[in-house]
Structure 1
Amino acid sequence: MEDMSIAYLQAICAKNGYELSDTKHDNDCVDYTINCGGYPIDDAECVWRSPKLEVQLKSSFSSVTILENGDVQYDIPARNYNYLVDTHRFTPYILVLLVMHRDEELWLEQNIDGLKITKCAYWISLKGQEPTENKNSIRIVIPGANVLTPNALKKIMVTISKQQEL
C-alpha cells in the first residue's frame, strides 16, 4: 500500500515539475518534502521563490470512512497527529492520505490506453488543532473537496509562496 501512495505523490509532483525528496530518517514524522523550483506561478503576489512543503504520507482502506457528504473520516496515529498540529514549524506540513480499495486487485488499472491508480488522495493541514492525549489514534475529518490533484498542489505552493496559511 505504501508504494502506491508514493507513486501517486510522485506522479502529482512530476506533472507540476516539482521535486519529491524522501527523508532518510523519520524525524518529526516527515516522510517527504516537495520542492518547487522558482515561483509556482507568474504572480506579483508570490513573495517566496522555491516554496517547500513537508508531507506525512499515509494510505489506508481499513481506517477510512467516506461520509455521506463526501468528507473522509480517518483514524490517524496519535503520534503523527501531534506532529501535524504543531504551530512551531518553519516549513508548512500536511497529511496526504491515499484512500485505497479493500480489494487489492482494484488498486491499479492498466490497459492499452494507460495506467490508472484507482481512488484518490486527500490532503489536510492540521496546524493549530488541539493536540491529543490519546495513546493510539485520533479520528479526523478531511474535507472531500481536498483531493490532491496537480492543480491542488500548485495552489498549495502558491499559498505558501504568498506567505499565507494553508
Structure 2
Amino acid sequence: MASGCHPALILSVKPRKLQSLPLDAPTSRSPDTVALTRAAQNAPPSCWTASAAGAACSVTTRHEDNSGVDAKIVGWGPFPNGGYRHEVDLKVQLKATTATPSTVSECLSYFLRGVPQYDDLRSAAVSTPRILVVLFLPSTNASDWISHTDDALSLHKCAYWVSLKGAAPSTNDSGQTVYLPLSQRFDKVGLLDLFAKVSRQEVPLYQPPSV
C-alpha cells in the first residue's frame, strides 16, 4: 500500500447485548424509562461499525468469549505519522448510555459497572491494547437516536474512547467512574490517530482530570 493511504480495518464484534446504564443514571422506573433503558442496552453493533466505516471496515461475527472484550479492531498501515508496525490491533469494550454525563476538564464522566471489567481495561499485563468506547445517546426518546432520509442515515450524539491503561485501582465495590476526553471521538480520524500511536508502540495511558 502506498505511503499515506488510509489503513484497512477489520472490526469484529461479539454478538451480545451492550451492557449500559451506569449506576448514577436516573432512578425513575416509569414504563417510558424502562423501555428507554432496554433500548440502550440492546444498541446494535451497527452503531459502532458505522463510526469506523469511513476507514474501510468490514464486520464479522466472533463467537469466542473474551473477558471484557466486545470487539476487536485490526488495522493495516502504513499509518499517517505512524511507526514501523504496519499491522496493529485493539480490543474494545463497548458501552451505551442515555445518562447525562458530567463534563470535567473537557472530559465526559461514565460509571463503568464491575471492578473486574475495570481491572481488565487498566491492566498493563496484556499484549493487545484495550480501550473503552462509550456511546452517549440522547436521553429523551429512542426515536431521537437515529434519523434517516433519502440522502442520509444519521446517528445522533457521539461515541468517545479512552485507554484505562495505568489507571489507579478502584476503591469502589461496584465499579468505577472514568472520564473520556472530548478530543477522543470514536470516528475515522480518531481511529487513525490511535492506530498511529500504537504502531509507534505508544499505548496511551489513562490521564484522569483533576476533580
TM-score by length of 1: 0.87
Whether 1:7 aligns to 2:46 is yes
Indicate which of 113, 116, 131 corresponds to 1:94.
Answer: 131
Structure 1 position 21, deviation (Å): 5.1
1:56, 1:145 → 2: CA distance?
A: 19
Name the counterpart of 2:193: 155
1:162, 1:119 → 2: CA distance?
A: 31
Name the counterpart of 1:124: 162
User: Structure 1 residues 88, 158: closer, same or farther in 2, change over 3 A?
Assistant: same
User: Structure 1 residues 111, 57: closer, same or farther in 2, change over 3 A?
Assistant: same
User: Structure 1 residues 80, 23: closer, same or farther in 2, change over 3 A?
Assistant: farther
User: Structure 1 residues 75, 162: closer, same or farther in 2, change over 3 A?
Assistant: same
Greater mean deviation of Cα atoms: 113-122 or 134-143: 134-143
Structure 1, unpaired ranges of 5+: none
Structure 2, unpaired ranges of 5+: 1-39, 205-211
Alignment of 1:39-54 (within 5 A): 39-41=77-79, 46-54=83-91
- Runs in 1 of length 4+ with deviation above 6 angstroms? none
- Kindly provide the CA deviation profile for residues 97-134 of structure 1, in whole angstroms up to 9, marking residues without a partner as x: 00011221111011122110100101000001112242
User: Structure 1 residues 20, 93: closer, same or farther in 2, change over 3 A?
Assistant: farther
User: Structure 1 residues 5, 123: closer, same or farther in 2, change over 3 A?
Assistant: farther
Structure 1 position 70, deviation (Å): 4.5
Kept in 2, the 8 Å contact 1:46–1:162? The answer is yes
What is the aligned length? 163
Whether 1:76 aligns to 2:115 is no
1:60, 1:54 → 2: CA distance?
A: 20
What is the SS of the residue equivalent to 2:133?
Answer: strand
User: Structure 1 residues 143, 5: closer, same or farther in 2, change over 3 A?
Assistant: farther
Which residue type is aligned with residue 92 of structure 2?
A: V
1:81, 1:96 → 2: CA distance?
A: 13
TM-score by length of 2: 0.69
Greater mean deviation of Cα atoms: 133-142 or 80-89: 133-142
User: Structure 1 residues 92, 19: closer, same or farther in 2, change over 3 A?
Assistant: farther
